[in-house]
Amino acid sequence: MNWINTLLENLNYPTIFFLMMLESTVVPVPSELVVSPAAYHAAGGNLTVRHCFTGASVKTSSLGAGGFIGLGQSANNVAGTHADIGLTVEYCIAWGASVVAEAGETNQWGTGAFIGSVAGGSTLTDNFRNPAMTVSYNCANKEWPLVYDQDNSTKDKPLVYYDGAVEAPATCQAPYHGKAAAAGKTAAQVATDLGFSTTVWDLSGEVPVLKVAQ
């Protein structure tokens, strides 16, 4: 099993996917062996998400709902603050019909079309959402719309929120909505534009499909 040790020592999203896939085969790779180090690497900012797709709608009774990721930051013990975890999300697609957070609190983690709440120094590049996606959440801050387009961001160019604001509001903190895909384009067409690999993805239909799932 030295090859498993090698994969764990060089953990990234492709190796996580491969090891988790093996779990459902005859190869004895317990999820506990994979998920724990994966979480450790994520907390340390060592994992990057690129060329990923989800078509799922999200509905939760908690906070921090996102069409792709819920919480993209590390919460501090001081109310209203958050810490950058070195998150990088690039060339991904959230194609669900809706994101709904039903929590009764109105001043906690936000809800976003793409990421519910994200640290402003994260690297976010060309992530697109379903232009018809609806976002619904309980928010005390009524000044901002529930969903809007946001430009790319890096550590040197922090995420800009609604109307040019560079600081997250005190309520509904730090949502990330990505950009609305062009009207009339299918998710597969957006994926093609973003450079999804046709070795990994079948882009012949309306939505990207992992070839291993076929």
d(CA 164, CA 167): 9
More confident residue, 181 or 135: 181
Q: How many CB atoms lie within 10 A of CB 47?
A: 19
Mean pLDDT of 197-212: 90
Q: What is the pLDDT of residues 14-30, one digit of tens each?
A: 556 565 555 555 555 55
pTM listed for this prediction: 0.75
d(CA 80, CA 31): 34
Provide the sign of the torsion angle of the four alpha carbons 168, 170, 176, 180, taken in this order: negative
> What percentage of the chain carries pLDDT values higher than 70?
58
pLDDT tier at 110, thresholds 50, 70, 90: confident
Q: For the ranges 97-106, 161-170, 176-185, 198-207, which has the lowest average pLDDT?
A: 161-170
Cβ atoms of 137 and 91 closer than 8 Å: no
Please state the domain extents for the chain.
2-43, 48-214
Our CA angle for 180, 188, 20, nearest 5°, is 100
Q: What is the pLDDT of residues 44-77, one digit of tens each?
A: 555 688 898 999 999 888 777 889 888 777 554 3
